[in-house]
Amino acid sequence: MFPAMRLARLARLAHLALALAPAAAWPSDPPSFPQFPGRQVSVLNGTWDFAFLGDVALEEISQDAEWQKVSVPDAFDLRGFTCRCEPCSCCDRSMGHRGRAECWGDRREMVGGVWVYEEHPEAQFEACCQPEPLYLKRGVAMYRTQLDTLGTAALLLFGGCTLRCVVMVDGVVLEDHAGLSPFQVEVPAGGGESGARTLLVIVDNRFGETHPVHQPKYDWYQAGGIIRPVQFHELPSKEPLYISYVHVYPRSLATVDVKLKTSGPLDGISLRWRLDDESGCQESLAWPEMAPEGAAGLRVPDAEPWSPSSPSLRRLSVAMLRDTQVLDCICVRFGLRRVEAQGHQILLNQKPVKLLGFNRHDMIDSPVMTYDELVADVEILKELGANFVRGAHYAQDQRFLDLCDVYGLLVWEEVLGWQNTASDFENTLFMAQSMRMATELALASGNHPSVILLGFFNEGESFDQSEATTVAYHAMAQHLRRHTGNTRLIGYGSNHAGQDQQLNAVDVYAFHLYLAWYPTTQPADAEDVEGIPGIWDQVRQWSLQAGEKPMLITEAGAGGLFGHHTDGKWSEEYQARVLRSHLEAAIHNPQIAGIALWQFADIPIDRSVSDEQHRPRGLNNKGVLSMHRKPKLAASVVSQLLHEHR
């Protein structure tokens, strides 16, 4: 049985995850990395003006609109429900018209392929809860805010803005971005004597030819809005002189290479560096000089390796000076860790490590997550016994990766994509946007020791042998290697075991099979569940035909409706049996390097491209936790196995 103390701990953490801050009282995030002591940084979380324009062309929009106040970050089409009566727990529940047990009672039955619930007499959904007016709406929206500035050159850092975002300052278009990845916008000096500047972000959450990296078929709800924090960095000068990035690449467990890039030529400008300095660059004039391109073989004193059991972190500060004036200064955090592929194994710091954990989407009922919610997720993952999390299926929130660095979680991060086709790989705009997202992911995550694997083209048509597909897979793999200094292993999640033709592009093989689950209309079969380890061994033997590389199981699971208890499919009991079999296959087979179960928690999906037969309640129900982080039976079963084999 799952220890009662651990169950209580999970319940406590789930309660923390549910403690959603009201829109007007977002918690202040602690300092995240990189830090910028040479800049005046403002985090623009808070109240903005908002207007929804509907299904209009971006070229025809006008700011003469009906504005309202909203809190940013914001996913305008997933704001949920407004409560109109008491009790109102139904507004805390799954997406759509089906309720949680607190709202609808416990009796459920399948009628004509649809789950039917007994309504709780005190909390009938239709009587109590009303969707927000823009709930699940697609169209064009505008976010606007005023900035009181120094009038100097500046930078805007967006953690995530989807699906397509046009950034304007003082009426001038500075950026047109597609996809989900962190990006930076250079803002010229301006604002006049007052320093007042107007930031306008036009968001389009429709699917279209201008941003083919987002497609309606993707198996999660792709919300629109400024969904992650925005930062405004004011530079000391009217010239846009700044350090674009500083990356620290471990070359041993005691030495690092430093790679950096500046915004322009360094005529009359010097770069200086210091390890573990906490002065905020105030003493940078006395620091050693660094070459414009960085440094190679820099020795780290008192070196301690970073690992899940001992996540030791160090800091490097780099300052840009003209004479005695500090033009910019960046402080990055890094860990001394090495990751390699050797035969069947993944080596971390020259020792074999078996990766055991979960896939996780960066969302609860919306992709807008507070820092406290991210902390709760990381603590739940650790409490479950995981040492590994696969960030599906896009660049992860940098705050989450900071936490993985601190808590010692190993991470697979990947470029946005899901079941992309050969026609996508032939599409020059799709490939250009994908490559840009790969660059942005690599630049943002280059110093996270937790990120040991990078992925792309999740479940793409890797069985295709056309020139466009082959070039796309090899080009993306090489692009990620080049932009991370060969310090990560590269792979892609494949659902084409037995047919895959692109395995020679990557460092690790990664396969997805939902054995004993699909088709969902087929009755549960105990023999199917018992046969899971044998099939995974067959997949491993087949993969060796492409060469001996480590193999991961990067998706495997079954749906389990929270609170549904029978022996058949969709029950918590059946889900637990299937996940146990997959996990045991990975744990006991020395030729399998690890597993990421699908998945950590239930997530909302787009009902327009799915149905109740495959995604009841408007959710992907394969989480070991409910969407609101309540543990299902599978959580205790999986956790017991994970703790036994740590």
- Domain with residue 279: its CATH number is 2.60.40.10
Q: Are residues 319 and 427 in the same domain?
A: no
**Residue 401 forms part of a structural domain:** yes
Question: What's the whole-model pTM score?
Answer: 0.91
Where does the pLDDT of residue 81 fall: very low under 50, low under 70, confident under 90, or very high at 90 and above? low
Q: Are residues 108 and 254 in the same domain?
A: no
What is the per-residue pLDDT for 127?
56
Domain boundary among 215, 234, 253: 234
Domain boundary among 172, 200, 234: 234
Max distance between CA atoms of the chain, in angstroms, equals 77
Span 199-215, average pLDDT: 98
Question: CA end-to-end span of the chain, whole Å?
Answer: 18
| Positive or negative: CA dihedral 479, 480, 481, 483 | positive
pLDDT tens digits, 481-503: 999 999 999 999 999 999 999 99
**Residue 21 forms part of a structural domain:** no
Q: Are residues 64 and 171 in the same domain?
A: yes
What is the per-residue pLDDT for 638?
98
Where does the pLDDT of residue 85 fall: very low under 50, low under 70, confident under 90, or very high at 90 and above? low
What is the per-residue pLDDT for 278?
80
**Residue 458 forms part of a structural domain:** yes
Where does the pLDDT of residue 299 fall: very low under 50, low under 70, confident under 90, or very high at 90 and above? very high
Query: Treating both helix axes as pointing N-terminal to C-terminal, what angle do 572-588 and 633-644 enclose, rounded to 10 degrees?
Result: 20
Give the residue numbers spanning the domain of 585. 347-644
Q: Are residues 600 and 618 in the same domain?
A: yes
pLDDT tens digits, 323-354: 999 999 999 999 999 999 999 999 999 999 99
pLDDT tens digits, 528-586: 999 999 999 999 999 999 999 999 999 999 999 988 999 999 999 999 999 999 999 99
Question: Which of 161, 135, 138 lies closest to 231 in space, CA to CA?
Answer: 161
Residue 214 has pLDDT above 90, yes or no: yes
The 10 Å CB-count burial string (b at 16+, else e) for 487-503 is bbbbbbbbbbbeebbbb
What is the per-residue pLDDT for 29?
53
What is the per-residue pLDDT for 122?
41
State how far Cα 370 lies from the chain centre: 14
Q: Are residues 512 and 525 in the same domain?
A: yes
* DSSP-H helix ranges across 495-565: 526-530, 532-543
Q: Which residue would you say has higher pLDDT here, 166 or 113?
A: 166
Q: Are residues 92 and 185 in the same domain?
A: no
617 backbone dihedrals φ, ψ, rounded to 5°: 70, 10
Where does the pLDDT of residue 128 fall: very low under 50, low under 70, confident under 90, or very high at 90 and above? low
* DSSP-H helix ranges across 106-259: 125-128
Q: Are residues 95 and 174 in the same domain?
A: no
**Residue 443 forms part of a structural domain:** yes
CATH number at residue 501: 3.20.20.80
Neighbouring residues of 5: CB distance < 8 A, sequence distance ≥ 6: none
* DSSP-H helix ranges across 544-615: 572-588
Q: Are residues 557 and 507 in the same domain?
A: yes
Query: Treating both helix axes as pointing N-terminal to C-terminal, what angle do 398-407 and 428-445 enclose, rounded to 10 degrees?
Result: 40
Q: Are residues 537 and 393 in the same domain?
A: yes
Q: Which residue would you say has higher pLDDT here, 65 or 85?
A: 65
Where does the pLDDT of residue 168 fall: very low under 50, low under 70, confident under 90, or very high at 90 and above? very high
**Residue 201 forms part of a structural domain:** yes
274 backbone dihedrals φ, ψ, rounded to 5°: -160, 135
Neighbouring residues of 538: CB distance < 8 A, sequence distance ≥ 6: none
Average pLDDT, the chain: 90
Where does the pLDDT of residue 425 fall: very low under 50, low under 70, confident under 90, or very high at 90 and above? very high
Residue 141 has pLDDT above 70, yes or no: yes
Whole-angstrom CA distances from 171 to 174, 191, 220, 288, 599 are 9, 12, 34, 43, 43
Give the DSSP H or E segment for 407: helix 398-407
Count other Cβ atoms within 10 Å, centred on residue 325. Answer: 11
| CB distance 221 to 95 below 8 Å | yes
Q: Are residues 461 and 610 in the same domain?
A: yes
From CA 481, how far away is CA 477, in angstroms rounded? 6
CATH number at residue 73: 2.60.120.260
Q: Are residues 196 and 93 in the same domain?
A: no
Whole-angstrom CA distances from 471 to 464, 465, 475 are 11, 10, 6
Neighbouring residues of 104: CB distance < 8 A, sequence distance ≥ 6: 90, 98, 117, 118, 119, 120, 123, 125
**Residue 534 forms part of a structural domain:** yes
**Residue 22 forms part of a structural domain:** no
From CA 144, how far away is CA 177, in angstroms rounded? 17
Whole-angstrom CA distances from 392 to 396, 597, 604 are 8, 12, 14
- What SS3 class is residue 600? coil
Q: Are residues 256 and 361 in the same domain?
A: no
Domain boundary among 180, 215, 234: 234
Residue 105 has pLDDT above 80, yes or no: no
Where does the pLDDT of residue 100 fall: very low under 50, low under 70, confident under 90, or very high at 90 and above? very low
The total of structural domains in the chain comes to: 4
**Residue 24 forms part of a structural domain:** no
From CA 56, how far away is CA 59, in angstroms rounded? 8
What is the per-residue pLDDT for 183?
98
Half-sphere exposure of 192 (CA within 13 A, CB side): 6
What is the per-residue pLDDT for 621?
95
